[in-house]
């Protein structure tokens, strides 16, 4: 399978902080020409069977997925797992532990927002949470737009909910080694998500890539909705340097909010090994059209 395959291996549904159901994301991906799709909700695999079933009905190849929140060097880093068994007990338990504490964090975020005059944020955010166990900053961002505090979610993530601004509550997520192990034990491949987003120093970034590899991580997102085209080149070079395969995905959350729509990104650089070459046995092939 070549790097020209139209793959979208990173996106979200109402099971985490997306606004479309798993079935609606499947329909949209298929309608936009995606040939190999993975739904990667944050810290949750509850949408996997629904996503796989709709992909099969549409005739689209599917890889199971998840995006795990990790704390590395005091920073939140996301690790995508592809081709996981969503029923693996160790993975399911690890994700449940990672989700724990989101509600408490949300209440503290709302207290901080109330202190700057924004009331009702916990209840308001919860109304946007399709999955009450996965209350996310994205849901708060939608409430801040609804309440008129900000014009759009971009403004929210400049004025609120980030380090140093009201509504930011630091949180300890999973450890890097744990996340990679849960993914590997569940038969999947671990992928560093959108590395340009972390704003690490060169030393910290080197440490992330080295430790990820030492733990058994195999791939890195090169082409993603969270990278500029200049950043595609930076992370293509790091993939080569570390001998990692390359992944791609829009990180689509909502028709109204996302930088990149499903299936809209350019192909991976041709000399890199696409992550799906490592996952041939894990792809759920759509039944051939009648």
Residue nearest Mn ion by beta-carbon distance: 78
Window 91 to 150, contacts with Mn ion (CB under 5 A)? none
Sign of torsion over alpha carbons 147, 198, 264, 62: negative
Nearest approach in angstroms of CB 150 to ligand AMP is 11
DSSP the chain: --TTS-EE--B--TTTT-SS-HHHHHHHHHHTT-SEE----BT--TTHHHHHHHHHHHT-EE--EEEEEEEETTEEEEEEEES--TT-HHHHHHHHHHHTTHHHHHHHHHHHHHHTT--SHHHHHHHH-SSGGG--HHHHHHHHHHTTS-SSHHHHHHHSSSTTSTT------B-HHHHHHHHHHTT-EEEE--GGGG---HHHHHHHHHHHHHTT--EEEEEETTS-HHHHHHHHHHHHHHT-EEEEE--B--TTT-SS-TT-SPPPPTTS-BGGGG-TTT-BPPPPP-
Residue nearest ligand AMP by beta-carbon distance: 157
Nearest approach in angstroms of CB 270 to Mn ion is 25
Nearest approach in angstroms of CB 4 to ligand AMP is 28
Do 192 and 213 form a contact (C-beta atoms < 8 A)? no
Which of 17, 41, 61, 221: binder of Mn ion (CB under 5 A)? 17
Nearest approach in angstroms of CB 140 to ligand AMP is 8
Of 137 and 218, which CB lies nearer to ligand AMP in the complex structure? 137
Q: Which does 137 bind (CB under 5 to 8 A by kind): ligand AMP, Mn ion, none?
A: ligand AMP
Q: Which does 206 bind (CB under 5 to 8 A by kind): ligand AMP, Mn ion, none?
A: none
Which of 78, 102, 142, 227: binder of Mn ion (CB under 5 A)? 78
Of 55 and 77, which CB lies nearer to Mn ion in the complex structure? 77
Q: Which does 27 bind (CB under 5 to 8 A by kind): ligand AMP, Mn ion, none?
A: none
Per CB under 6 A, residues contacting ligand AMP are 17, 42, 69, 136-138, 153-154, 157, 253
Nearest approach in angstroms of CB 273 to ligand AMP is 27
Q: Residues 38-77: x/- map of binding to Mn ion (CB under 5 A)? A: -----------------------------x----------
Nearest approach in angstroms of CB 195 to ligand AMP is 15
Q: Which does 247 bind (CB under 5 to 8 A by kind): Mn ion, ligand AMP, none?
A: none
C-alpha–C-alpha distance, residues 81 and 97, integer Å = 17
Which of 251, 252, 263, 269: binder of Mn ion (CB under 5 A)? 251
Do 121 and 144 form a contact (C-beta atoms < 8 A)? yes
Q: Which does 144 bind (CB under 5 to 8 A by kind): ligand AMP, Mn ion, none?
A: none
Nearest approach in angstroms of CB 138 to ligand AMP is 4
Which residues of this protein are in contact with Mn ion, per CB under 5 A?
17, 67, 78, 193, 251
């Amino acid at each position: 399978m070549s790097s020209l395959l139209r793959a979208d291996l990173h996106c979200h549904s109402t099971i985490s902080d997306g606004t479309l159901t798993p079935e609606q994301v499947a329909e949209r991906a298929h309608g936009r020409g995606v040939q190999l799709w993975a739904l990667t909700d944050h810290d949750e695999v509850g949408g996997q069977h629904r996503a796989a079933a709709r992909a099969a009905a549409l005739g689209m190849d599917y890889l199971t997925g998840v995006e795990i929140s990790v704390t590395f060097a005091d920073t939140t880093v996301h690790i995508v797992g592809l081709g996981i068994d969503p029923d693996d007990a160790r993975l399911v338990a690890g994700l449940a532990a990672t989700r724990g504490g989101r509600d408490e964090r949300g209440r503290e975020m709302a207290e901080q927002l109330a202190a700057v005059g924004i009331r009702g944020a916990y209840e308001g955010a919860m109304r946007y949470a399709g999955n009450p166990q996965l209350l996310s900053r994205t849901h708060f961002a939608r409430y801040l737009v609804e309440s008129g505090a900000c014009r759009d979610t971009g403004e929210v993530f400049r004025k609120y909910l980030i380090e140093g601004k009201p509504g930011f509550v630091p949180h300890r997520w999973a450890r890097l080694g744990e996340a990679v192990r849960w993914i590997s034990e569940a038969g999947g491949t671990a992928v560093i998500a959108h590395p340009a987003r972390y704003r690490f120093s060169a030393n910290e970034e080197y440490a992330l890539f080295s430790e990820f590899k030492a733990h058994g991580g195999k791939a890195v997102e090169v082409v993603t909705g969270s990278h500029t085209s200049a950043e595609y080149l930076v992370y293509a070079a790091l993939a080569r340097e570390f001998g990692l395969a390359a992944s791609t995905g829009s990180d689509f959350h909502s028709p109204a909010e996302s930088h990149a729509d499903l299936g809209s990104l350019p192909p991976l650089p041709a000399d890199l090994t696409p992550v799906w070459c490592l996952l041939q046995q894990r792809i759920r092939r759509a039944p051939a059209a009648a």
